[in-house]
């Protein structure tokens, strides 16, 4: 695969390049805030950057007929609409979390929320001090899976790649479901799975959970 990376010099961009190179994929486009290096036409563009890069990423996908795998968080509804529109022209995977464990957690908390209807529910998420958005995209995914308007508590401390806990409580007990990313590599591996999946696929919006669990 010939691929491009938007945000190539960032924490996630560097992980993506390492994981994709190990699989023998060829890096042909590097974009970040300061620079753009074009060495050839990419089949897929991977974006882990910032919402401010979205317009440029979409243009690059259109110009190169390249698929898009986007993990950038902090996107608003309008941004998500722009990504959906792009998926009419090229294959797209957008997810606020590319780890497998979180995809399992989303299913579990959705089921618990359905069963424990009248329990208190609150989400706690912890990320490194450099993270720009709060709450995290993953916390918003968890809230959606719970199908309830629940409080989210965001901590920005140290170098934490990403911890998420959903706490369910009544007067006598607490049930906590937690996920901890211990390396950013896990997100890059998920992005690799998504990129290899959409290679030579028809235009469309492909859901990451379906790529992981099947059913596309």
**Which residues are part of the catalytic machinery?**
127, 131
Least distance from C-beta 42 to ligand NAD, angstroms? 15
Report the C-alpha gap between 113 and 118 in whole angstroms.
9
- Tell whether residue 74 is a contact of ligand NAD (CB under 6 A): yes
Query: Based on CB atoms, which residue is closest to ligand NAD, 57 or 113?
Result: 57
Site mask for ligand NAD (CB under 6 A), range 78-97, x = bound? -----------------xxx
> Is 33 one of the binding residues for ligand NAD (CB under 6 A)?
yes
User: Could you tell me if 95 and 117 are in contact, meaning their C-beta atoms sit under 8 angstroms apart?
Assistant: no
User: 95: closest CA among 76, 72, 66?
Assistant: 72
Quick one: which H or E segment has residue 26?
A: strand 26-31
Of 43-51, 112-120, 171-179, 196-204, which segment contacts ligand NAD by CB under 6 A?
43-51
Q: How many CA atoms lie within 13 A of 114 on its CB side?
A: 7
CB of 55 to ligand NAD, least distance (A): 9
Q: Which is nearer to ligand NAD, 116 or 128 (CB)?
A: 128
Stretch of 51-59, 84-92, 112-120, 145-153 contacting ligand NAD, by CB under 6 A:
51-59
Of 156, 125, 170, nearest to 143 (Cα)? 125
Element (H, E) at 213: helix 208-213
- Mention every residue, 6+ apart, whose C-beta is less than 8 A from residue 78: none
Binding residues for ligand NAD, rule: CB under 6 A, are 6-7, 9-13, 31-33, 48-50, 52-53, 56, 71-74, 95-98, 187
């Amino acid at each position: 695969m010939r691929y491009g990376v938007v945000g190539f010099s960032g924490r996630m961009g560097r992980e993506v390049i390492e994981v994709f190179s190990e699989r023998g994929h060829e890096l042909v486009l590097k974009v970040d805030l300061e620079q753009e290096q074009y060495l050839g036409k990419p089949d897929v563009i991977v974006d882990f950057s910032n919402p401010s890069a979205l317009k440029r990423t979409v243009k690059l996908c259109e110009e190169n007929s390249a698929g898009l795998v986007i993990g950038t968080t902090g996107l608003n509804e309008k941004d998500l609409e722009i990504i959906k529109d792009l998926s009419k022209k090229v294959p797209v995977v957008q997810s606020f979390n590319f780890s497998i464990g979180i995809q399992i957690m989303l299913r579990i908390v959705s089921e618990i929320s359905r069963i424990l209807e009248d329990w208190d529910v609150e989400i706690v998420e912890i990320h490194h001090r450099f993270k720009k958005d709060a709450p995290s995209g993953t916390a918003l995914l968890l809230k959606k899976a719970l199908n309830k308007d629940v409080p989210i508590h965001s901590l920005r401390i140290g170098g934490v790649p990403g911890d998420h806990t959903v706490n369910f409580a009544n007067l006598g007990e607490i049930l906590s479901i937690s996920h901890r990313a211990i390396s950013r590599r896990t997100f890059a591996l998920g992005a690799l799975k998504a990129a290899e999946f959409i290679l030579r696929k028809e235009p469309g919006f492909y859901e990451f959970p379906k790529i992981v669990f099947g059913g596309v």
